[in-house]
Chains A and B, each alone.
Chain A
């Protein structure tokens, strides 16, 4: 059973560990050993069946990066029956190791490989993959390592950058973005003691302009409730997308969320609410897919608790109650919806000296057994069926695009 270790939450012990998860766990390193063997020490061949984190050292391929996609990708590569049928995605029979965005500071991706600082989020995923291809060192969490051959794929909840020469679109570029699914970003809110939605009419259906006023600190009260906005940290793709969507500017520091207390929350984690003070309501951006996946039990842990997901722009992000079903009207919005991607090296999936058929099939959207499939098949045996249960919808386009390295 792969329980996801998230900051601020106790890991739940696995209940009824499914044998299919256990059978391919190759190497597990205890944390203390891992940290003391920070650089360059290979510990191979030790086999411990520990229940804890989703950091398998993979003799096959590795994928790092975004938090938003990690639950779905973890389930796909580890095997899941969430769609009704057991689905597991491999690369020509080779396992794929998907590494969470949060967890231990150091991870070892492949047997014999170095311990590296864990890439945490879309930005890190893009950069770590770029370093694995251009040969420069990857420095994170005070660990500097060469990661060539260690990182094979990246998960990303954001697309190309618009900075010339740094992750910008290049039709001959070394990275290929392949659409994985479509997510949407809304806002979650949780009341402190003594207040409910009746005390703050309209809070569950805020427009972009209203959200901008809240995050700018212009509006601090709705109804009789004090509003406390919060944001994930600066490199979070969800934060940048949300701030861009409400008009604050994706790299800005809005006036209503200035302090460390309100800006260092993890992404897509209801634990960020803590216990809101009495008489207040906290709100912060939340991926609709992640919300739906957690409430539906697709993820091992549901962090949503007593919080609620608002209807940004007035459109509900999901319909139904059990299971929650993503609302395509919300997801298709150009303001709130976003395609999410798997990033692969162009050299390995295009004809040429480095072409790797297994990797290409792993990310080929025309193959029902790939990570990125979202085609016409309604069979529960496809990755599409799994992704739907994780709250993703069909991406707005299946066209891939290429970019330069990210630095």
Chain B
């Protein structure tokens, strides 16, 4: 039961994977473009499409508008795909948050709609909006009306008149999908409106878990505010059909179907009510809407059925790039469909290292399992790990904050700095709030609420953090387990290895992990210590490692009021890096709720995600996902002592000083202990290359040729930054020329099957190289659970003519306890499809 949230998430992604077409892939653009890109780099952004609109220009009924001076800026309106954008505004008023019986006061609602209003050309049709799924007061499609006289004339056709106190006046706005299907809870019977039993708020087109509507977005004292908005294409919202290809019959040009972004301002109360409790689609609220046209990239062409399918397996970091390259590759004559399986890179490399036909491995580190490495490694992407966050200001309400800090309450923080020691604290459950509140936390120095010891409650109250960050952080009083640790994925990855390597490169962080208190007396959680003597398990934590263990076995025992809570119940894993960024966008810290005694079976509920203005969550993700969801990323202190955020420039600066692995010179990486790294002031310390690796000894020449074609495309055309299919998405830096040359020679070797000497790495600086040395016992001192049972086969679509024998793959790629293979799916594209989060 403790793993409920974890397993449910994995199961759901597995289910969605099965739902996605195994072989034939509708290309679903998963590429971010513009908006808040990685860091401040807008090179790939369609930055010219920012739009500013005002209520004065759009609202014909401005005299009754809640905010006559409202001005809204939308960060990107063209070339859109499934991504995040930023909506910001001025001219509103200080908001009141919603309650269980009221939608709040003075706020904005944001929704995505697809159709034009036939009665009001140039305006969106409220019946086409994805709105109401939240089903909270003020945020539904239908409601009863307290006063029949308050029903506007335009709502009459959607209204059932009252018939007695138990059947009050009822208005319900139907939803009309792009394909013409209508969801309505009102029928016409003998010319009169009658309620039927349909649920207009949760239906086949949208539910509370899939909707992207923002039901409440508040403003500060100065009437300004902003909110991230998740743009959905036809893949995530089929009822809206945004981005579906539309061919102009005259010119033959294919564009994506356009949609609307609609902002509905709400004042202090609905007409005829004492508070905001009725639908924002009812005419009296809807008539004040401000709308912006959204132009979408056409969702790409399908790959033809029956074309040969090739498997790629391993790194999740390159998924977004493969999603962009894949349709261009299969559209080329003789092109294959490259379907991607995400899992532990080391497993994929091990599987590829031999004569048997195996998926093309995608890895960032060299194979290191004791066998002879016959792989040829081709660099195909330069990306990185990002620590993303969504933290809104909550200044101390007891006089600890100056007035201007109080005035900025609820506005989001846009930057933070982290050192390796801070990252170590976040990864080792050393902050008090990262352990269950009613658990025994004496091993962190905590005695009672009055005597909490020297370990800080969470990151924002840690003097170590406050010392290097903007002084405004010191005025905050934010509490949440989600800022006492990082949302991390389960499973093994090279990205985890890179994060731990970064942490270990810093003497302060190593001292902290060894058990020495930091200058303010904070001590590492001993269960995660690298010193065996203080680690209660008797063995030290082996670092670096390729996963993010939750090592503390703390548990709040079950009682008759509630079930047990252990660390994984308290702080669940995410499924992957993409999910972590998505949760950060939505402000969902995965915080545990209360025990539902009357559920069957009784279980813990989850606290709902925070509204914009009240968000507090941090996560480990990759730079491509961070760019796509437009989440803010932390600046990390690099070995040169400079705090750097991930941008194209900082990734390239890190690439310039990457050093080769001592045992496998084809593979290089950013070694924070190397001299070059210490001299690179602009380098982002978590930059990572991704290599495609295959063995020239593989017997199937056709497969090797396909792999070589993939590598050649990825390393040349695929490195052109842009938002067009086939190009390099935001969050990746185009590879240096030297890398491309290496990729070409590796591709040639793989294609020809020659096992000649490998070429030199692009840089060779003196100093220590990217080895796998670490601290603690070198072997698996933390015993890994044994996998039992038959390993599950990889899930794939129907067999095509060039399919490899999947039986070999399934036996070579083991399922390791702890979720070694996070999602064995044959999804050709890693695209987010209607996540139920």
Binding site for B on A (CB under 8 A): 123-124, 127, 158-159, 162, 164-165, 168-172, 176, 178, 202, 207, 209-210, 212-213, 216-220, 222, 226, 233-235, 240-241, 244-245, 247, 249-256, 258-260, 264, 332, 334-335, 337-339, 344, 346, 349-351, 360, 364-366, 396-402, 407
Q: How far is the CB of B272 from chain A (nearest CB, A)?
A: 9
Contacting residue for A235 out of B160, B397, B597, CB 8 A: B597
Is the CB–CB distance between B479 and A255 below 8 Å?
yes
Given contacts A213-B397, A220-B449, A396-B274, contact A244 B100 (CB under 8 A): yes
Given contacts A127-B598, A235-B597, contact A255 B437 (CB under 8 A): yes
Is the CB–CB distance between B449 and A217 below 8 Å?
yes
Chain B, residue nearest A239 (CB): B594
- Residues on B with C-beta less than 8 A from A212 are 397
- Residues on A with C-beta less than 8 A from B97 are 247, 335
Is the CB–CB distance between A249 and B185 below 8 Å?
no
Given contacts A178-B165, A217-B449, contact A258 B437 (CB under 8 A): yes
The interface bits of chain B over 467-481 (1 if a CB of A lies within 8 angstroms of the residue's CB, else 0) are 000000000010100
Contacts A337-B101, A364-B165 known; list 14 others, CB within 8 Å: A123-B598, A168-B202, A171-B195, A172-B196, A178-B165, A210-B398, A218-B396, A234-B595, A244-B100, A249-B591, A334-B102, A334-B276, A399-B169, A401-B144
Binds A, one of B31-39, B64-72, B132-140, B284-292: B132-140
- Residues on A with C-beta less than 8 A from B274 are 332, 396-397
Chain B residues numbered 103-145 whose CB sits less than 8 Å from any CB in chain A: 104-105, 134-136, 140, 142-145
Chain A, residue nearest B606 (CB): A251
- Residues on A with C-beta less than 8 A from B610 are 249
B559 sits at the interface (CB 8 A): yes
The interface bits of chain B over 428-461 (1 if a CB of A lies within 8 angstroms of the residue's CB, else 0) are 0000010001100000000001100000010000
- Expressed in whole angstroms, the Cα–Cα distance for A399 and B275 within the complex equals 13
Given contacts A240-B100, A249-B593, contact A226 B450 (CB under 8 A): yes
- Expressed in whole angstroms, the Cα–Cα distance for A365 and B162 within the complex equals 14
Given contacts A256-B449, A365-B165, contact A171 B170 (CB under 8 A): yes
Is the CB–CB distance between A264 and B450 below 8 Å?
no
B164 sits at the interface (CB 8 A): yes
Is the CB–CB distance between B208 and A400 below 8 Å?
no
B700 sits at the interface (CB 8 A): no
Most chain A beta-carbon neighbours within 10 Å: one of B101, B274, B457: B101
- Residues on A with C-beta less than 8 A from B142 are 169, 171
Is the CB–CB distance between B561 and A260 below 8 Å?
yes
B146 sits at the interface (CB 8 A): yes
Is the CB–CB distance between A350 and B167 below 8 Å?
yes
Chain A, residue nearest B104 (CB): A334
The interface bits of chain B over 246-281 (1 if a CB of A lies within 8 angstroms of the residue's CB, else 0) are 000000000000000000000000000111110000
Is the CB–CB distance between B99 and A162 below 8 Å?
no
- Residues on A with C-beta less than 8 A from B207 are 164
- Residues on B with C-beta less than 8 A from A255 are 433, 437, 457, 479
- Residues on B with C-beta less than 8 A from A217 are 437, 449, 457, 479
Given contacts A176-B166, A220-B450, A399-B145, contact A259 B208 (CB under 8 A): no
Given contacts A162-B208, A338-B101, A397-B274, contact A234 B166 (CB under 8 A): no
- Residues on A with C-beta less than 8 A from B208 are 162, 164
Given contacts A162-B135, A255-B479, contact A170 B199 (CB under 8 A): yes
- Residues on A with C-beta less than 8 A from B398 are 202, 210, 213, 219, 222
- Residues on B with C-beta less than 8 A from A235 are 597-598
B608 sits at the interface (CB 8 A): yes
Q: How far is the CB of A235 from chain B (nearest CB, A)?
A: 7
Is the CB–CB distance between B614 and A247 below 8 Å?
yes
- Expressed in whole angstroms, the Cα–Cα distance for A376 and B452 within the complex equals 56
- Expressed in whole angstroms, the Cα–Cα distance for A311 and B76 within the complex equals 45
Is the CB–CB distance between B592 and A400 below 8 Å?
no
Is the CB–CB distance between B607 and A334 below 8 Å?
no
Is the CB–CB distance between A171 and B140 below 8 Å?
no
- Residues on A with C-beta less than 8 A from B450 are 220, 226
- Residues on B with C-beta less than 8 A from A260 are 438, 559, 561
The interface bits of chain B over 148-172 (1 if a CB of A lies within 8 angstroms of the residue's CB, else 0) are 0000000000001000111111101
- Expressed in whole angstroms, the Cα–Cα distance for A219 and B400 within the complex equals 11
B759 sits at the interface (CB 8 A): no
Contacting residue for B164 out of A171, A216, A344, A350, CB 8 A: A350
Q: How far is the CB of B134 from chain A (nearest CB, A)?
A: 7
- Expressed in whole angstroms, the Cα–Cα distance for A41 and B146 within the complex equals 46
- Expressed in whole angstroms, the Cα–Cα distance for A240 and B101 within the complex equals 12
- Residues on A with C-beta less than 8 A from B600 are 407
Q: How far is the CB of A287 from chain B (nearest CB, A)?
A: 14
Contacting residue for B140 out of A169, A247, A350, CB 8 A: A169
B197 sits at the interface (CB 8 A): yes
Contacting residue for A346 out of B166, B202, B276, CB 8 A: B166
Contacting residue for B199 out of A164, A334, A364, CB 8 A: A164
- Expressed in whole angstroms, the Cα–Cα distance for A251 and B477 within the complex equals 21
Contacting residue for A252 out of B199, B276, B607, CB 8 A: B607
Chain B residues numbered 574-623 whose CB sits less than 8 Å from any CB in chain A: 591-595, 597-598, 600, 605-608, 610, 614
- Expressed in whole angstroms, the Cα–Cα distance for A219 and B477 within the complex equals 9
Given contacts A164-B202, A334-B102, contact A252 B559 (CB under 8 A): no
- Residues on A with C-beta less than 8 A from B136 are 162
- Expressed in whole angstroms, the Cα–Cα distance for A67 and B195 within the complex equals 34
A-B residue pairs in contact (CB < 8 Å), sample of 20: A158-B100, A168-B201, A176-B166, A210-B397, A234-B594, A241-B100, A249-B593, A249-B610, A251-B594, A251-B607, A255-B437, A260-B438, A334-B101, A335-B96, A338-B100, A365-B165, A397-B277, A398-B146, A399-B146, A399-B168
- Residues on A with C-beta less than 8 A from B681 are none
Chain A, residue nearest B433 (CB): A255
- Residues on A with C-beta less than 8 A from B196 are 172
Contacting residue for A171 out of B185, B202, B275, B477, CB 8 A: B185
- Expressed in whole angstroms, the Cα–Cα distance for A334 and B137 within the complex equals 11
Q: How far is the CB of B298 from chain A (nearest CB, A)?
A: 33
Q: How far is the CB of B567 from chain A (nearest CB, A)?
A: 15
Is the CB–CB distance between A334 and B561 below 8 Å?
no
Given contacts A216-B479, A244-B99, A259-B438, contact A400 B165 (CB under 8 A): yes
- Expressed in whole angstroms, the Cα–Cα distance for A407 and B598 within the complex equals 8
B562 sits at the interface (CB 8 A): yes
- Expressed in whole angstroms, the Cα–Cα distance for A216 and B195 within the complex equals 45
B394 sits at the interface (CB 8 A): yes
Given contacts A171-B195, A218-B477, contact A366 B591 (CB under 8 A): no
Contacting residue for B100 out of A159, A210, A264, A350, CB 8 A: A159
Q: How far is the CB of A250 from chain B (nearest CB, A)?
A: 7
- Residues on B with C-beta less than 8 A from A220 are 449-450
- Expressed in whole angstroms, the Cα–Cα distance for A221 and B339 within the complex equals 59
Q: How far is the CB of B660 from chain A (nearest CB, A)?
A: 48
- Residues on B with C-beta less than 8 A from A398 are 146, 165
Chain B, residue nearest A164 (CB): B202
- Residues on B with C-beta less than 8 A from A127 are 598
Is the CB–CB distance between A253 and B437 below 8 Å?
yes
- Expressed in whole angstroms, the Cα–Cα distance for A247 and B104 within the complex equals 12
- Residues on A with C-beta less than 8 A from B273 are 396-397
Is the CB–CB distance between A172 and B593 below 8 Å?
no
Q: Give the 6 A-B CB pairs with smallest separation, nearest first.
A: A251-B593, A209-B397, A258-B437, A334-B102, A216-B479, A258-B438
Is the CB–CB distance between A251 and B608 below 8 Å?
yes
Is the CB–CB distance between B197 and A170 below 8 Å?
yes
Chain A, residue nearest B565 (CB): A253
Contacting residue for A172 out of B134, B195, B449, CB 8 A: B195
Is the CB–CB distance between A249 and B607 below 8 Å?
yes
